[in-house]
């Protein structure tokens, strides 16, 4: 086998992990699936899907299945900061195969405010004891930005009235791996948009430990669960990009695999919503699609059981997995290329590009703007005559 | 003897702190405190007006479509104020209503199975420890919720936070095959509700005009009613018996208020927001980030019970006759509304004319758009209002009044708000917690 060495090292890690005690002695994940009518065949199909998503060779599928069965060795602690709970909604309840949510429910029940069955003091107690009991062994997932203005008092939680900032820091200090779930936790999100009334900050600003960002508003649950499985398999950080996003999920642009890409290349654009081009499913760049500037796998994975995604619903991508997209990508119905050097907030794509030194982005943007302008003369006019 | 205790309410899309004043072992007064604040209204200022359709859904992950739709309607009303009343095709209106209905359906099922049922099981058996994985009904409920969100995403692209709404229509152009897929999803949801929740066909359920008829066949609803009767929820949790529904709905003709059983027309002009006892109050006596909403200086209850009182739904009117606005009536109303929504969505999907245009572009130049607008939508938890003023295509002011703010005002001992009044005089925190949850409170919406 081509990747025999890697395979062996992952297999070794899993067999070590297997010796860890289960969180809940009464039931294994395998049994749980069986009880809920998920056949071994469905499960293996799912494992093959995740293997492909993580860009691993298909021979690794049995390992992936084993990793999924071992998720009950690693509890997940989920913290809510300043947020809309959209990420939990996305993850815990809106997607399938239900295997994802099933595994997640099973391992995260230690603490998840919105869903957990214990309530009130009991719940808070569970959090504290989970952090204590699994010190250095749990996966921390944080949803929401962390308000730091006014001494952090824009968010206080729990019985001791602890600020969100303090509680996130405490949990992060004790965690084995830390994931910032959603754009708020990764980059500050909506509450950090200009003028940032509560001085909200990303999770990476309140801890010194490495934070893996899983942005998106909301991120797809496949990216969240994929990260857990990756951690179980490798026990290390995945390959990350400049914004600490795992490359297996955020390695390519929305634009690269977009179903409307062919129309872009052919210069066929929706000139305005509701026109003939919109009916035909032409490219949405001119009505504000930010797909060319946005790194995420939505065009491949989609949402809600692979049913649809915004571009399929005829509205452009708003760039929600990019840092500060609320300030940099708007207005969401106009192309970015129009305002490269003069945007509403003075922080256009050019500045974003400068900040991270991804000069290529600007070059692409200029190219796209030029392409769109030429296409308006060549192809676009045709569709509006029809 | 007076004492004060502090309790935390969880699983309400965030958390709230209840500070209870006890007198003679009964709740004398309750302060509801929300310690989370993000400042979405401030963030909206000076942004291009259409950004509101993308930003306001982020107020709340569980009713994102409602917020997006309210913002869309507010901008449309702003166009009308500017001198161009927009024409929205029937198809776009129907798609908007379908997605809104589905959002309410998933919310009601979620609330019933994840908030209400586990609480009731705990109330009837204090030793009960919920184990979601041993409960097939819970698992099937979750699958049903997934199915409803799939239905929504056929039109909205994703749920939550779909992007498909624009002032002037919707951006999606569903094909016949999409409609078939949506009908299939709806069928799955209805089957679940019929076999577990109602124990009968929804047509039969909607024909019911006496609460006794619910008890005929075995169902989760019937069992919950039995537990609630046994533990006195048929007489506790009463508030002012004053209801308000300002948004449009297929259930009734026009915006109304309802005092006891008398329905009267209502007008958005009488709505006022109060900062009393909030941190925004200049007197500095505030204790929460939540504001209050008042209609003619009075607290009104909003939500499914309010809507069905306006609709003069025979079943809910019957329950109201027997138990007034008690916790029992409130809970059955939400479950009952779910049946209405399922039926209505089925009709909408059948009559959807995909040949019509999805979107008609406004003629006015967006760069000159100036004026004021109001959007009102009946969201899962009640009347949701967005008010904005626009100058040359940019937002000058934006004001959001969420449903939970109506129900959860910061009243005083003399003039308690809806929920505050509902939990007065109770002997235990467990009961107060349950009554609190019967309003389907949402913490993130309340404070934004």
Last residue of a domain, one of A197, A223, A250: A250
Looking at the partner chain, which of B47, B163, B444 has a beta carbon nearest the beta carbon of A83?
B444
pLDDT of A90: 74
Clarify whether residues A240 and A272 are in a common domain: no
Measured from the Cβ of residue A381, the count of other Cβ atoms closer than 10 Å reads: 11
Residues A275, A245 share a domain: no
Angle at A153 between CA A147 and CA A159, to 5 degrees: 110
pLDDT band at A279 (very low <50, low <70, confident <90, very high): very high
- Structural domain ending residue among the three candidates A206, A224, A250: A250
Q: What is the mean pLDDT of residues B202-226?
A: 94
Per-residue pLDDT, averaged over B221-244, amounts to 95
Q: Does the pLDDT of residue A364 top 80, yes or no? A: no
Chain A contact present for B361, CB below 8 A: yes
Residues A227, A260 share a domain: no
Between CA A93 and CA B160 the distance in angstroms is 11
* A9 three-class SS: helix
pLDDT band at A376 (very low <50, low <70, confident <90, very high): low
From chain B, pick out residues whose CB is under 8 angstroms from the CB of A310.
157-158, 162-164
Mean pLDDT of chain A, nearest integer:
80
pLDDT of residue A131: 83
The pLDDT assigned to B143 comes to 83
| A36 vs B contacts (CB less than 8 Å) | 133, 136, 139
Residue B361 to residue A36, Cβ atoms within 8 A? no
Least confident range from A282-286, A377-381, B77-81, B339-343: namely A377-381
Mean pLDDT of B212-240: 94
Q: Closest approach of chain A CAs to the CA of B48, in angstroms?
A: 6
CB under 8 Å to B265, separation ≥6 — which residues? Answer: B254, B255, B256, B257
Out of A84, A118, A281, closest to residue B60 by CB: A84
Evaluate if residue A159 carries a pLDDT over 80.
no
Number of domains in chain B: 1
pLDDT higher than threshold 60 for residue A356: no
Q: A43 lies in which domain range?
A: 4-250
Establish, for the pair of chains A and B, how many residue pairs have beta carbons separated by less than 8 Å.
Answer: 238
Q: Are B418 and B301 in contact (CB under 8 A)?
A: yes
- Residue B29 pLDDT exceeds 70: yes
- Residue A361 belongs to domain with CATH number: 4.10.480.10
From chain A residues 212-241, the ones with a CB under 8 A of any chain B CB are 217-218
pTM equals 0.91
- Among A38-42, A367-371, B124-128, where is mean pLDDT lowest? A367-371
**Percentage of residues of chain A with pLDDT beyond 90:** 37
Least confident stretch, A337-341, B181-185, B409-413, B420-424: A337-341
Q: Is the CB of B446 inside 8 Å of chain A's CB atoms? A: no
Name the residue among B83, B64, B145, B101 with its Cα closest to residue B363.
B83
In angstroms, the CA A240 to CA A237 distance is 8
Lowest mean pLDDT, pick from A73-82, A142-151, B22-31, B406-415: A73-82
User: Within this chain, do residues A168 and A39 fall inside the same structural domain, yes or no?
Assistant: yes
Q: Which residue has the tokens 């059955």?
A: B332
Task: Name the percent of chain B lying above pLDDT 70.
Answer: 98
Helices B220-230 and B117-124 pack at an angle, to 10 degrees, of 40
Q: What length does chain A have?
A: 386
Mutate which: B34, B66, B161, B440, vs A, most A CBs within 10 A: B161
What pLDDT is stored for residue B252 in this prediction? 94
Residues of B in contact with A324 (CB under 8 A): none
Considering the domain architecture, whether residues A41 and A154 belong to the same structural domain is answered as yes
Give the orientation angle of helix A98-108 with respect to helix A40-53, to 10 degrees.
90
Half-sphere exposure of B141 (CA within 13 A, CB side): 21
Q: pLDDT value at position A192?
A: 95
The pLDDT assigned to B146 comes to: 86
Q: How far apart are CA B331 and CA B315, in angstroms?
A: 13
Pick the closest to residue B71 from B94, B89, B53 (CA basis): B53
Look up the domain containing B328 and give its range: 2-447
Residues in B 17-46 with any Cβ partner in A closer than 8 A: 35-40, 42-43
pLDDT of amino acid B134: 61
Q: What is the pLDDT of residue A346?
A: 44
Number of folded domains in chain A? Answer: 2
Residue A357 has pLDDT above 50, yes or no: no
Half-sphere exposure of A284 (CA within 13 A, CB side): 30
A85–B60 CB contact, under 8 Å:
yes
Backbone φ, ψ for residue B405 (5° rounding): -65, -35
- Two tokens, residue B303: 């939500």
Q: State both tokens at A135.
A: 């010190």
Task: For residues B332 and B17, give the distance between their C-alpha atoms in angstroms, rounded to a whole number.
Answer: 26
Which element (helix H / strand E) includes B443?
Answer: helix B443-447
Contacts of B62 in chain A (CB under 8 A): 85-86, 89
Beta bridge partners of A140: A77, A178
Q: Distance from A187 to chain B by nearest Cα, in Å?
A: 15
Return the structure tokens found at A258: 């977009």
- What does pLDDT average to over chain B? 92
Q: Is pLDDT of A384 > 50?
A: no
What would the mean pLDDT of A176-195 be, rounded to a whole number?
94
Condensed to tens digits (0 to 9), the pLDDT of residues B253-262 reads 999 999 989 9
pLDDT given at position A100 = 64
Determine the Cα–Cα distance for residues B14 and A79; give it in Å rounded to an integer: 10
Q: Which CATH number fits the domain that encloses residue A106?
A: 3.40.50.700
Q: What is the pLDDT of residue A375?
A: 57
Are residues A190 and A288 both part of a single domain?
Answer: no
Mean pLDDT of all residues in A336-362: 46
Q: Are A218 and A351 contained in the same domain?
A: no
Q: According to the per-residue pLDDT averaged within each range, which of A15-24, A77-86, A273-282, B273-282 is highest?
A: A273-282
Q: Which one of A313, A324, A336 makes the best mutation probe of the B interface by having the most chain B beta carbons within 10 Å?
A: A313
Sign of CA dihedral B102, A296, B51, A205: positive
pLDDT value, residue A373: 57
Question: Given CB atoms, is B166 within the 8 Å cutoff of chain A?
Answer: yes
A218 shares its domain with A334: no
Rg (CA), chain A: 22
Of B38, B62, B133, the CB nearest to A85: B62
Structure tokens belonging to residue A89: 């909604």
Q: Is the pLDDT at A263 greater than 80, yes or no?
A: yes
Domain final residue pick, A217, A232, A250: A250
A254-263, A281-290, A355-364, B50-59: least confidently modelled range: A355-364
Q: Residue B385 maps to which CATH number?
A: 1.10.645.10
- Residue A248: Cβ-neighbour burial (10 angstroms; 0-12, 13-18, 19+): middle
pLDDT at A344: 42
Q: Which H or E element spans position A355?
A: helix A349-356
Q: Are residues A224 and A290 in the same domain?
A: no
Q: What is the mean pLDDT of residues B267-282?
A: 90
- Using the predicted structure, report yes or no on whether residue A359 has a pLDDT greater than 80: no
Which of A38-52, A230-244, B79-93 has the weakest average pLDDT? A38-52
Percent of chain A with pLDDT over 70: 76
State the complex-level ipTM: 0.91
Closest Cα to residue A255, out of A173, A338, A372, A114? A372
**Model confidence pLDDT, tens digit, residues B318-341:** 999 999 999 999 999 999 999 999
pLDDT computed for residue A26 by the predictor: 62
- Distance between CA B166 and CA A333 in Å, rounded? 10
Whether residue A343 is predicted with pLDDT greater than 60 in this model: the reply is no
Q: In this model, does residue A139 exceed pLDDT 80?
A: yes
pLDDT bucket at B35, cuts 50 / 70 / 90: confident
Least confident of A11-25, A95-109, B274-288: A95-109
B170 forms beta bridges with B165
Q: Residues of A344-376 as b/e, b for ≥16 C-beta within 10 angstroms?
A: beeebbbbbbeeeeeeebbebbeebbebbeebe
More confident call, B263 vs A382: B263
Q: Cβ B172–A314 below 8 Å, yes or no?
A: yes
Residues A170 and A52 in one domain: yes
Percentage of chain B beyond pLDDT 90 is 75
In this structure, the answer to whether residues A278 and A353 fall within a common structural domain is yes
pLDDT at res. B423: 93
Sign of the alpha-carbon dihedral angle for B351, B356, B358, B364: negative
Pair A73, A49 in one domain: yes
- 3-state SS, residue A328: helix
């Amino acid at each position: 086998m081509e990747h025999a060495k890697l395979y062996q090292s992952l297999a070794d890690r899993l067999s070590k992990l297997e010796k860890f005690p289960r969180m809940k002695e009464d039931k294994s994940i395998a049994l749980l699936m069986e009880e809920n009518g998920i056949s071994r065949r469905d499960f293996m199909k799912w494992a093959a899907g995740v293997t492909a998503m993580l860009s691993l060779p298909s021979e690794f599928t049995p390992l992936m299945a084993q990793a999924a069965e071992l998720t009950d060795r690693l509890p997940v602690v989920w913290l809510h900061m300043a947020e809309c709970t959209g990420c939990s909604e996305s993850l815990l309840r809106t997607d399938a195969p239900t295997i994802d949510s099933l595994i997640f429910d099973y391992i995260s029940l230690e603490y998840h405010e919105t869903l957990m069955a214990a309530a009130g003091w009991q719940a808070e107690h569970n959090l504290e004891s989970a952090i204590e009991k699994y010190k250095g062994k749990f996966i921390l997932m944080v949803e929401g930005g962390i308000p730091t203005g006014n001494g952090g008092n824009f968010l206080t939680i729990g019985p001791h009235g602890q600020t969100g900032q303090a509680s996130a820091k405490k949990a992060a200090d004790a965690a084995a791996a830390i994931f910032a779930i959603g754009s708020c936790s990764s980059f500050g999100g909506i509450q950090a948009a200009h003028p940032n009334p509560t001085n909200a900050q990303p999770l990476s600003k309140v801890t010194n430990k490495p934070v893996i960002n899983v942005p998106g508003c909301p991120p797809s649950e496949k990216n969240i669960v994929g990260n857990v499985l990756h951690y179980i398999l490798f026990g290390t950080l995945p390959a990350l990009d400049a914004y600490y996003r795992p490359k297996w999920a955020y390695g390519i642009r929305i634009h690269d695999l977009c179903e409307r890409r062919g129309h872009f290349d052919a210069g066929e654009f929706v000139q305005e919503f509701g026109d003939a081009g919109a009916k035909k499913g032409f490219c949405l760049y001119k009505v504000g699609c930010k797909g060319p500037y946005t790194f995420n796998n939505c065009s491949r994975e989609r949402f809600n059981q692979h049913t649809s995604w915004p571009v399929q619903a005829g509205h452009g991508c708003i760039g929600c997995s990019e840092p500060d997209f609320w300030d940099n990508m708007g207005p969401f119905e106009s192309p970015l290329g129009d305002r490269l050097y003069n945007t509403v907030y003075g922080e256009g794509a050019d500045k974003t590009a400068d900040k991270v030194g991804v000069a290529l982005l600007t070059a692409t943007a200029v190219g796209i703007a030029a392409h769109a302008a030429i296409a308006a003369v060549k192809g676009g006019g045709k569709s509006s005559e029809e | 003897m007076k004492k004060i205790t502090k309790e935390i309410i969880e699983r309400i899309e965030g958390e709230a702190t209840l500070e209870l004043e006890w007198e003679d072992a009964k709740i004398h007064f309750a302060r509801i405190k929300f310690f989370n604040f993000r400042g979405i209204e401030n963030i909206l200022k000076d942004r291009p007006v259409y950004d509101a359709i993308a930003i306001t859904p982020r107020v709340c992950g569980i009713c994102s479509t409602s917020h997006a739709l309210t913002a869309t309607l507010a901008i449309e009303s702003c166009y009308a104020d500017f001198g161009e009343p927009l024409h929205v095709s029937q198809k776009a209106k129907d798609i908007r209503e379908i997605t809104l209905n589905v959002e309410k359906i998933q919310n009601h099922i979620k609330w019933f199975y994840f908030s209400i049922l586990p609480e009731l099981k705990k109330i009837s058996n204090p030793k009960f420890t919920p184990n979601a994985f041993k409960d097939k009904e819970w698992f099937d409920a979750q699958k049903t919720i997934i199915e409803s969100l799939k239905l929504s995403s056929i039109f909205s692209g994703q749920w939550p936070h779909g992007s498909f709404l624009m002032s002037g229509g919707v951006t999606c152009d569903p094909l016949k095959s999409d409609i078939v897929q949506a009908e299939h999803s709806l069928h799955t949801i209805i089957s679940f509700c019929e076999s577990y929740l109602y124990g009968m066909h929804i047509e039969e359920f909607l024909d019911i005009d006496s609460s006794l008829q619910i008890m005929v066949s075995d169902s989760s609803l019937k069992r919950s009613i039995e537990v609630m009767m046994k533990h006195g929820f048929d007489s506790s949790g009463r508030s002012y018996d004053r209801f308000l529904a300002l948004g449009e709905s297929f259930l009734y003709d026009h915006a109304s208020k309802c005092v006891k059983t008398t329905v009267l027309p209502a007008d958005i002009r009488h709505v006022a927001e109060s900062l009393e006892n909030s941190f925004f109050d200049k007197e500095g006596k505030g204790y929460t980030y939540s504001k209050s909403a008042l209609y003619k200086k009075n607290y009104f209850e909003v939500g499914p019970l309010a809507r069905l009182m306006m609709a003069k739904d025979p079943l809910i009117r019957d329950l109201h006759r027997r138990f007034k606005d008690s916790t029992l009536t409130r809970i059955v109303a939400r479950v009952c509304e779910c049946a209405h929504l399922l039926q209505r969505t089925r009709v909408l999907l059948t009559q959807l004319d995909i040949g019509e245009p999805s979107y008609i572009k406004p003629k006015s130049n967006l760069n000159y758009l100036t004026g004021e607008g109001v959007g009102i939508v009946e969201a899962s938890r009640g009347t949701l209002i967005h008010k904005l003023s626009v100058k040359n295509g940019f937002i000058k002011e934006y004001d959001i009044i969420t449903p939970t703010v109506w129900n959860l005002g910061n009243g005083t001992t003399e003039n308690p708000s809806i929920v505050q009044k509902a939990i007065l005089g109770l002997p235990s925190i467990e009961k107060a917690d349950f009554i609190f949850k019967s309003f389907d409170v949402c913490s993130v919406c309340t404070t934004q």
